[in-house]
Structure 1
């Protein structure tokens, strides 16, 4: 790499002063009285030679070329440049880098040259054995790979077993790597370090050597009796379906290291997977805490709508030191939101540090809260700041535009929402989520052709997408056009999601448009029973009205008004039914 290295300099060798003097001596003085000779031809300074090192012989030029190629993801170009640099440099690290790159592009000839140079410059035995093992694996020479891996783990290098694991984990042939793992990483050879045993057991699992991984994990438990070993064995038992044994092993792990939040978090995650969320929450609440245990405790309490648990957790973190509160500012903001403390949530989100990976999400949540408080200008100002701050980060920029669109959609400013999604699509033209969002905005704004075009584009990019199929089918049905196509789309959506109330609502509305009132009513009643959604209620009311059940329809519309007073379909339907 170029960091810490001086800028590239071309070495220019000027001719020596004596050479210049000799050149000047060629100008003799003419005899007295003779006319001065007219000087013609090459002047002395024109004879000066400037020797410039050719780029292929300039070490710094080759290193720069290699680094530039890497920056452009041109591995072959980087390998070639570093290969030339290794021939020019006396630094074994350059030769080692050349070898790494040659192996990355599977250039055995270049790797051989780099290895020879590295060895000549005094490469360490463990490093050379590692390189030779990787080269042998790359060309499929199992016997040579085994010899070199044996040399590596016998070298006495403190990182030998870690390097051994890395080599096999990145090998192209998993079967070959698994065989070598079993041959070399035996209980008789592994060091007296539980971390090494567990690493090899985990590597065995990833390479499909499950019996080896289990045997080594069981042996580690019998030998080391530490918390991490019990936890790994418990995880293996859980994967094998022996949940009772898994719980016992995790309980032993936590008992061995009660102050280790990592172990309690792992045990709690296992309990959650087993459906024991209350037991997981109780386990997490005991002992030392960190940001992850707080986050999982909040998630479990929110999932069960346990406001009391959320309140206790919020107050618990607030009693901690300023540093702990600062580290958990985002979690405190989420807790405050869940407890309905919007102003407190804004304060906590504002306290999230700029270098916190959740700073973007904190800003988004702040914008949402301000929108809910009716402070739309402030909300959109935050989003605009995000768009500026993350202008060079496409994924975050896209999300910022999407948030803008969602805020406008919720405020029923559909044209503004379309404009926001337009900006997102300028970042990535074929972004299906943004096309879908813009299609919804177009549909709500009454721009049916544009909405249909966007939904069709999504289906072109993601054939069979359920959301787009449902949206396009509903839009066609709602506008009483292409009902045969709408039926095909919605049948597919129903088959994929038979219990989805939103899909059932679309199907029921299609049946209404087709004049099949019995099927429309039964489908919409079922959807309404599953989810008290304003749109479903309005559709059911209109079907009931058409069937002459007007009192029931009015009662249902009143219920929708109570649940969703801003529902656009409610206002439209009431105008139509009671002109």
Structure 2
């Protein structure tokens, strides 16, 4: 079909793209990409074409589309996505330069500037440059003091590096300002349980998070896992099965397997671990679970 010109077409294209991405329909996405790539596309269309190229994992094409979005609406978002594409292409230094240009642009939208620091830290951590990632959060929080997304990002960086006290401190800062942050409550409770084995102390944080976000797979997983550690096997299994039904995730698979094993459902436990390995073949915890739990 040929696309007619007009603002409504941009809206309908974006909606179609969202549906196809959600459905994981790559052939239809590829067809939409070809359909949308008209001669002399508008800046809005260039941004959409970049998104479509990303969804198709055509990082070089995504880079070209984002780089072609001129100053004006959509430029800041395009610059942020451009850096992401450059990172995917392995050009980390170029990606960092792109992000730094956005960070010093006085006309840039603050939300995208904030997100540029999050992406910078992510790119650095992926390349085992954790100290630089931590410094990035420090710079960001000088500009966006107390920003919950930045505090949460830094807390997770600390947690992954085993620095639990500063992780908990950053999460507590979020909760001081917003006691109903389900994300921070979940992370705080999970850190207490995972790294401090303080299961009973962790549970109120996690149950509060679940009350605020009852459909969150991550929070269902956290509460279920702590129930399992406290010996509440029936409730643990129910929670973890609900988490797995909502999201196929290797960590949820690991916990679900433990709960099934504790319930004596050993064949199902091993199948849960195998399902997790299909999602993440390099997951050491899942491999260890299968090796140490014989049928």
TM-score normalized by structure 1?
0.45
Per-residue deviation at 1:545?
4.4
| Contact kept? 1:415, 1:441, Cα under 8 Å | no
Quote the Cα distance in structure 2 between the aligned partners of 1:541 and 1:426.
43
2:204 corresponds to 1:488: yes
Quote the Cα distance in structure 1 between the aligned partners of 2:76 and 2:182.
29
Change (3 A) 1:418 1:578: farther
Equivalence for 1:37: none
Quote the Cα distance in structure 1 between the aligned partners of 2:128 and 2:278.
19
For structure 1, the residue ranges without an aligned partner over 5 or more in a row are 1-284
Equivalence for 2:102: 386
2:79 corresponds to 1:363: yes
2:275 corresponds to 1:559: yes
- Listed one character per residue, the Cα deviations across residues 526-547 of structure 1 (whole Å, up to 9, x for unaligned) are 2112210121112222334455
Quote the Cα distance in structure 2 between the aligned partners of 1:576 and 1:419.
36
- Between Structure 1 and Structure 2, whose CA radius of gyration is higher? 1
Equivalence for 1:296: 11
Quote the Cα distance in structure 2 between the aligned partners of 1:557 and 1:376.
34
Quote the Cα distance in structure 1 between the aligned partners of 2:273 and 2:98.
37
Quote the Cα distance in structure 2 between the aligned partners of 1:472 and 1:493.
10
Equivalence for 2:38: 319
Equivalence for 1:520: 236
Equivalence for 1:336: 53
Equivalence for 2:225: 509
Aligned-pair RMSD on alpha carbons? 3.0
Per-residue deviation at 1:573?
5.6
Change (3 A) 1:462 1:412: farther
Per-residue deviation at 1:572?
4.2
Per-residue deviation at 1:310?
4.4
Which of 1 and 2 has higher RCO (CA within 8 Å, sep 6+)? 2
Quote the Cα distance in structure 2 between the aligned partners of 1:508 and 1:536.
10
Change (3 A) 1:421 1:486: same
Equivalence for 1:348: 65
Per-residue deviation at 1:386?
2.6
Quote the Cα distance in structure 1 between the aligned partners of 2:37 and 2:42.
6
Change (3 A) 1:545 1:442: farther
Equivalent residue runs for 1:56-67 within 5 Å? none
Equivalence for 2:153: 437
2:288 corresponds to 1:571: no
Quote the Cα distance in structure 1 between the aligned partners of 2:108 and 2:241.
49
Per-residue deviation at 1:403?
1.6
| Contact kept? 2:155, 2:171, Cα under 8 Å | yes
Equivalence for 1:400: 116
Quote the Cα distance in structure 2 between the aligned partners of 1:414 and 1:551.
40
| Contact kept? 2:270, 2:290, Cα under 8 Å | no
Q: Number of paired residues?
A: 288
For structure 2, the residue ranges without an aligned partner over 5 or more in a row are none
Per-residue deviation at 1:504?
0.4
Equivalent residue runs for 1:35-434 within 5 Å? 288-290=4-6, 292-305=7-20, 310-320=29-39, 322=40, 324-325=41-42, 328-353=45-70, 355-390=71-106, 395-409=111-125, 414-434=130-150
